[in-house]
Amino acid sequence: MPDVQKVVVIGLGYIGLPTAALIASRGIKVVGVDTNPTIVKTVASGAIHITEPDLDGLVQKVVSNGSLIAASEPEPADVFMIAVPTPIDAMNKPDLTCVLAAVERMTDLLAPGNLVILESTCPVGTTEKIAQKILERRPDLQIGPANGAATISVAYCPERVLPGRILTELVNNDRCIGGITASCARRAQWFYKTFVRGACVTTTARAAELVKLTENAYRDTNIAFANELSLICDRHAINVWEVIDLANRHPRVNILQPGPGVGGHCIAVDPWFIIDAAPDLARVMRTSREVNKHKTKLVAERSFALIDEHPYANVACCGLAFKANVDDLRESPALEIAVHLAEKYGARIKIVEPNIRQLPQRLTTLGAEMMNVDDALRTCEIAILLVDHDEFKMIPLAGRRHLDVIDTRGIWQDMPVRA
C-alpha cells in the first residue's frame, strides 16, 4: 500500500488533538482542522486547550518541529480523519450536524487513493451514509475494491480511549476497524498499524459502529446496576461499597461503582444512539439511562434535606467535573447537582473544584462562590462530595470530622454514610 505522507484530522477536541499529535510524532505531516478559531490559535502556538496528562509536551514538540500544523480549513492529504462531536438533541436523538459538515468540507479535496476515516461515535449506518454522500458529490470516485484508478477507501474506526489516559490508550488499546468494503477495512488497518501497538481487528462499518455503542451502553448498564444497588443498600442500612467489594471477590462478578449519576459526553449519551434506532428492543439500556439519571435527582433531594436541617450552615460542594481528576464538565451530574443547590441556597454554596480556574457563569449568577479545599474545610459545616478527585481523597479524617457529609463516591467511608 502507498505510504501516508500527510493526514488531515478534522476536529481538535479530546480525541482529535491527541490523535493528530500522536500521528505527527510518527513523522507523518498532520494538519489539524477546527472551526473554533481560539482552538486553532492555541494549537498553532504549541499549546493545548484541554487537560490531559503528557499532551502538552507532545503537542509542543510536534508543533515546534513542524509535523503538526493547525488550520481552519482542510487541505489535500492522503488520509482524512473525522473526530468531531456527535451529541444528542433535547429529544435524545443523535445530532450528526458536525459529521456531515466535516464531510462537506473535505469531499471536494478527495483524490484517488485517499482514505477517509470516521472516528466519531455514530449511529449504525452513518459511515455508509457518508460514503454515499461523498459519491453523490464526487461521481468521478468509487469505493474500493475497484479496478479503476479513481478509488478511495472509507472506514469507521471508533476511538475508545479513557480521558486521563488518552495517550497511553491511543497506542495500546486494540482497535476495531470497520470498512465499507473489506479492502477499505484492510487499508485503514494498515494505516492504524503505523501508530497503534494494540491489535487492529477488521470488520464491517456497521458492526464497528455498534461495537462502539455497545461498549459504552454496557458500562452505563453496569453503573446503573451499582446505582440501583446503592438505593437498595440505603434502605437496608448496609454499606453499598462493602457489598460491591465483597461481591466482586467472586471470580465472575465485576460490579462498577455507584455515584451521583453518569456524566461525560460518551456513556451518558451513546446508549441513546442504540435506543433511538430500536426503541422497542433496547429495554435494559433505556432503563439503565433512567436509573442513572434518577440517581442525580435523588442526590440533589438528599442534599436539600441535609442542608435544610442546618439553616445557617455553609455548604462545600466538592467537585464539578464529570469524573475524578479531569476538568471536563460536559453532562456532569456533579455540575447539575451544584446548580440545583445554588438555585436553592445561593451564596451558602461554596464550590471546590481543583481542576478548573473559573466557575461556570450559571453558578456565579446564582451567587455560588469558588473556594479552595482549605478555605472550604474552615468555613463550611456541610460537605456534599460529588467527585472522587485525589485532592478530596487526601483530606485526613481530622480535617473533615466537623462536617456533616453526603459522600456519593464512597471515598470517606471512615465517616457516617449518607448516600
- Residues forming contacts to ligand SAJ in the complex (CB under 6 A) are 121, 159-163, 215-216, 219, 223, 256-257, 259, 262-264, 266-267, 322-323
Q: Which is nearer to ligand SAJ, 134 or 196 (CB)?
A: 196
- Of the pair 78, 270, the CB lying nearest ligand SAJ is at 270
Distance of CA 57 to the CA centre of its chain: 22
Check: CB of residue 127 under 8 Å from CB of residue 180: yes
Establish whether 380 is a catalytic residue.
Answer: no
Residue 266 appears among annotated catalytic residues: yes
258: cell is 455507584
| Catalytic residue chosen out of the listed positions 122, 184, 200, 212 | 212
Indicate the burial class of 390 (C-beta count within 10 angstroms; 0-12, 13-18, 19 or more).
exposed
**CB 257 within 8 Å of CB 248:** no
Compute the least distance from the CB of residue 241 to ligand SAJ, in Å: 11
* Active-site annotation holder among 266, 317, 318, 380: 266
Rounded CA separation 248/181 (Å):
42
Shortest Cβ 168–ligand SAJ spacing (Å)? 12
Contact by Cβ (8 Å): 269, 289: no
Nearer Cβ to ligand SAJ (82/143) = 82
Min. distance of Cβ 318 from ligand SAJ in angstroms?
Answer: 14
Question: SS3 of 98, please?
Answer: helix
Query: Nearest distance from residue 227's CB to ligand SAJ, in Å?
Result: 7
Shortest spacing between CB 334 and ligand SAJ, in angstroms: 8
Cβ 58 to ligand SAJ shortest distance, Å: 19
Range list of β-strands (E), 5-162: 6-10, 29-33, 68-71, 79-82, 115-118, 142-143, 151-156
> Of 358, 312, 368, nearest to 338 (Cα)?
368
Q: Decide whether 107 or 221 has the Cβ nearer to ligand SAJ.
A: 221
Here the cell at position 254 is 465485576
Q: Which long-range contacts (CB under 8 A, 24 or more apart) does 231-234 make?
A: 231/295, 231/298, 234/419
Is 258 in contact with 227 (CB distance < 8 Å)? yes
Comparison of 30 and 240: residue with beta carbon closer to ligand SAJ: 240
142 vs 203, beta carbon nearer ligand SAJ = 203
Question: Which residues participate in catalysis according to the annotation?
Answer: 212, 266
